[in-house]
Amino acid sequence: MAAATSQSHLLRPSLRRASLACPSPSASPSPSRISFVLRAVSKPTVLVAEKLGAAGLELLKEFANVDCAYNMTPEDLCAKIALSDALIVRSGTKVNRSVFESSAGRLRVVGRAGVGIDNVDLAAATEHGCLVVNAPTANTVAAAEHAIALMAAMARNVAQADAALKAGKWQRNKYVGVSLVGKNLAILGFGKVGSEVARRAKGLGMHVVAHDPYASAARAQAIGVELVPFEQAISTADFISLHMPLTPSTDKMLNDETFAKVKKGVRIVNVARGGVIDEEALVRALDSGIVAQAALDVFTVEPPAADSKLVLHENVTVTPHLGASTVEAQEGVAIEIAEAVVGALKGELSATAVNAPMVPAEVLSELAPYVELAEKLARLAVQLVAGGGGVKSVKVTYASGRSPDDLDTRVLRAMITKGLIEPISSVFVNLVNADFTAKQRGIRITEERVQIDGTAESPIEYIKVQIAQAGSKFPSAVSETGEITVAGRVKDGIPHLTEVGSFQVDVSLEGSIILCRQVDQPGMIGAVGSVLGEQNVNVSFMSVGRIAPRKHAVMAIGVDEEPAKETLTKIGEIPAIEEFVFLKL
Ligand SMILES: NC(=O)C1=CN([C@@H]2O[C@H](COP(=O)(O)OP(=O)(O)OC[C@H]3O[C@@H](n4cnc5c(N)ncnc54)[C@H](O)[C@@H]3O)[C@@H](O)[C@H]2O)C=CC1
Ligand SMILES: O=C(O)C(=O)COP(=O)(O)O
């Protein structure tokens, strides 16, 4: 008889700090809470690192302890973050890897009260399973209005003339400007802000084109803007306004090479990010007259150095990153981010998640019981792997009566990853870090969707999890094709195990499970049942799957309590039992 070795190393309760789903059927997650069911804490703490509008603070205070600590040094932030469940920042705080490391796993959400998330290390956030949300819409108009304000102020030398007059100089001839009407404006980055700038510039009588490799032509058409290639945009423009995010591909997008291609005397507005312009190249272009003027709200380093040649240049108009700084926009972003952070802390999926898939609420609601099934099947499968074998290749099959294209499996795949990894490590897995964690551990998960006869009501008929290239401590779990195989389905809202290796069983996935392989003969159920009964272990379910009468059979026994080691040994000693394994769900 080949009794399975003790499973105690697998029985460590998984960390529930920020999981994807509540695995206990008795506490089934409400559908909207699938992504981040969080550990029960009395009241979470939200650290607000930069000034946030009052209405947003009020909203936060209804749900959390709010710690407003403006002007923190990076060291202060790292110290405070260990006591915080959420962090809210604007563009002035660098949320880098050391912040996530210092949080020691407590930080669950970073809220960016604005659009640009280039000050947040998204890779580090994802690796630490920390959700990042932003407030992408409330400051759009403010930023667009500021671009228009800067463009008009630059064209008419408002800032320079103002400074001169205040210094006692009445210089009407020096500050002759240029008109906006009839001029060509090239908008680079035709997203939310770029589109609003386009609308306003058209109202001022400008000819507007835009360059954006990802923008929809239909939207551009609706606004009456032609989408053109980059070189065409910059070589024909009298004014260029920048509205793309700072990413590796937009970093220093305007540089010596591009300035060599612009129309001489072009005027540049930047309300996006300083880093999209090579600032030294811009100074050279201004000095040579290739660029007549620039109006800048943003800088590569903020605040820029006091002796910055760019800031002090007489043809440059500057503001200290004021694009989003209107009363209205700040109230708007404060409410938008407070709602997003509270939602995330409550375990809801966020519509403004930056580093997690957005799964529509109706999809989540339908998938809720399958989310639990997926995690439990993976949890069982990994416990069946022979000690030290490791898991490298996992195949998941979703069988559905519906067209395979109708099934969004991202949440299910994340739960499979969670079920595979959490029983054998101290890592916690959620929708944010599932793919990263699987990759980091070298686990390749392939998915297959098969269409079978089934009811249209249920999205999935069964889920099968197969671990390839791994020996099993319960060899009967290995199918004829050589993989450790478990499959299950949802019955009356409860996940059931229906297949182990080549054997059909039917046991609800609650509590824990003992799998035994035995010679099919009368009295087996009673024999195992009475050993468990002696130990006061309650049996919730028993199911026997056999190849043929009186040949080999697999018995799946659901138990409410974890049997003592001696009880398991006694089961192993029942003569007809050939192998058995205890699996914790
Ligand atoms: N100065 C300030 O206070 C403010 C600055 N911003 C900045 O403005 C920028 C745009 O914001 P939104 O319009 O809300 O973002 P958005 O995401 O709606 O639009 C950005 C657009 O840039 C496009 N884009 C990406 N790569 C590009 C490339 N290589 N060339 C051309 N276009 C490219 C995208 O396709 C997208 O359409 C962000 O960087 C944001 O941080 C936003 C608000 C206030
Ligand atoms: O929303 C953005 O991207 C901005 O640049 C606004 O930044 P702020 O929140 O004013 O520091």
In whole numbers, what is the pLDDT of the chain averaged over residues? 88
For ligand 2, say whether the CB of 183 is within 6 Å of any of its atoms.
Answer: no
Q: Which residue has the higher pLDDT, 574 or 92?
A: 92
Longest dimension (CA), the chain: 110
> Residue 427's pLDDT band (boundaries 50, 70, 90)?
confident
Summarize the confidence of residues 206-231 as an average pLDDT: 95
The answer, yes or no, to whether ipTM is higher than 0.90 is yes
Ligand 2: distance of its center to the CA of 445 in Å? 39
For ligand 2, say whether the CB of 275 is within 6 Å of any of its atoms.
Answer: no
Tokens of 229: 């290639």
Summarize the confidence of residues 244-254 as an average pLDDT: 95
Summarize the confidence of residues 371-400 as an average pLDDT: 91
User: Which of 119, 216, 228, 244 has most ligand 1 atoms within 8 Å of CB, for mutation?
Assistant: 244
Instruction: Tell me the CA distances in angstroms from 489 to 178, 371, 483, one per residue in order.
Output: 71, 11, 19
Model pLDDT, residue 454: 76
> Residue 388's pLDDT band (boundaries 50, 70, 90)?
low
Would you list the DSSP string of 471-504? -BSSGGGB-TTSSEEEEEEEETTEEEEEEETTEE
- Model confidence at 534: pLDDT above 80: yes
Residue type, 127: E
The residue whose C-alpha atom lies closest to atom 10 belonging to ligand 2 is 324
Q: In what order do the strands lie in the sheet with 503-508?
A: 444-451, 393-400, 462-468, 484-491, 494-500, 503-508
Query: Annotated catalytic sites, by residue?
Result: 273, 302, 321
The residue whose C-alpha atom lies closest to atom 41 belonging to ligand 1 is 116
DSSP code, position 304: P
What share of the chain in percent tops pLDDT 90?
A: 66
What share of the chain in percent tops pLDDT 70?
A: 92
Ligand 2: distance of its center to the CA of 230 in Å? 26
The residue whose C-alpha atom lies closest to atom 29 belonging to ligand 1 is 250
- Model confidence at 103: pLDDT above 60: yes
Q: Which residue has the higher pLDDT, 15 or 40?
A: 40
Beta bridge partners of 497: 488, 507
Q: At what angle do helices 327-345 and 140-155 cross, to 10 degrees?
A: 150
Would you list the DSSP string of 327-372? HHHHHHHHHHHHHHHHHHHTTPPPTTBSSS----HHHHHHHHHHHH
Specify the 3-state DSSP secondary structure of 201. Answer: helix
Spell out a b/e string for 392-423, using b for 16 or more CB atoms within 10 Å of the CB, else e: eebbbbbbbbbeeeebebbbbbbbbbbbbbbb
Ligand 1: distance of its center to the CA of 191 in Å? 6
- Model confidence at 547: pLDDT above 80: no
Q: Which residue has the higher pLDDT, 185 or 21?
A: 185
413 alpha carbon, distance to own chain's centre? 14
- Model confidence at 489: pLDDT above 50: yes
- Model confidence at 130: pLDDT above 60: yes
- Model confidence at 408: pLDDT above 90: no
Task: Identify the residues whose C-beta falls under 6 Å from ligand 1.
Answer: 115-116, 136, 139-140, 143, 188-194, 211-215, 243-246, 249-250, 271-273, 297-298, 321, 323-324
pTM, to two decimals: 0.80
- In terms of Cα–Cα distance, which of 245, 320, 254 is closest to 281? 254
- Model confidence at 147: pLDDT above 50: yes
> Residue 22's pLDDT band (boundaries 50, 70, 90)?
very low
Which of 241-250, 401-410, 441-450 is least confident?
401-410
Ligand 2: distance of its center to the CA of 271 in Å? 10
Model pLDDT, residue 389: 65
